[in-house]
């Protein structure tokens, strides 16, 4: 989990740098796929650290929703397999 969250954090910084330089950007769907795979906290931290995508409602609402979905899935699987 630490590695995927670190990658999400770095991806936000890298995309922000590309945005400032008007270069090729990371597609938004990649952020959401990575968040659904467990990198939501890292992406959220990257968003606010680098001030990136913080004006997009899709990200302000979507990334925390992905975190809640991940937590719900983990909790449900833990309850089933416990």
Taking the chain (82 residues) in consecutive chunks of 10 residues, what is each chunk's mean pLDDT?
A: 96 95 94 95 96 92 95 95 89
Q: Helix 40-49 to helix 2-20 angle, to the nearest 10 degrees?
A: 30
Q: Global pTM?
A: 0.90
For the record, the structure tokens of 60 come out as 């302000």
What's residue 19's pLDDT? 93
Sign of torsion over alpha carbons 63, 33, 40, 19 = negative
The pLDDT value given to residue 82: 85
Neighbours of 39 (CB within 10 A): 27
CB 49 within 8 A of CB 14: no
Q: What per-residue confidence (pLDDT) applies to 75?
A: 95
């Amino acid at each position: 989990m630490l590695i995927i969250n670190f990658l999400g954090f770095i991806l936000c910084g890298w995309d922000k740098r590309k945005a400032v330089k008007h270069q090729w950007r990371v597609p938004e769907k990649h952020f959401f796929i990575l968040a659904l795979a467990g990198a939501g906290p890292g992406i959220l931290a990257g968003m606010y650290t680098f001030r990136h995508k913080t004006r997009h409602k899709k990200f302000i609402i979507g990334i925390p929703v992905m975190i809640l979905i991940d937590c719900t899935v983990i909790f449900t699987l833990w309850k089933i397999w416990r």
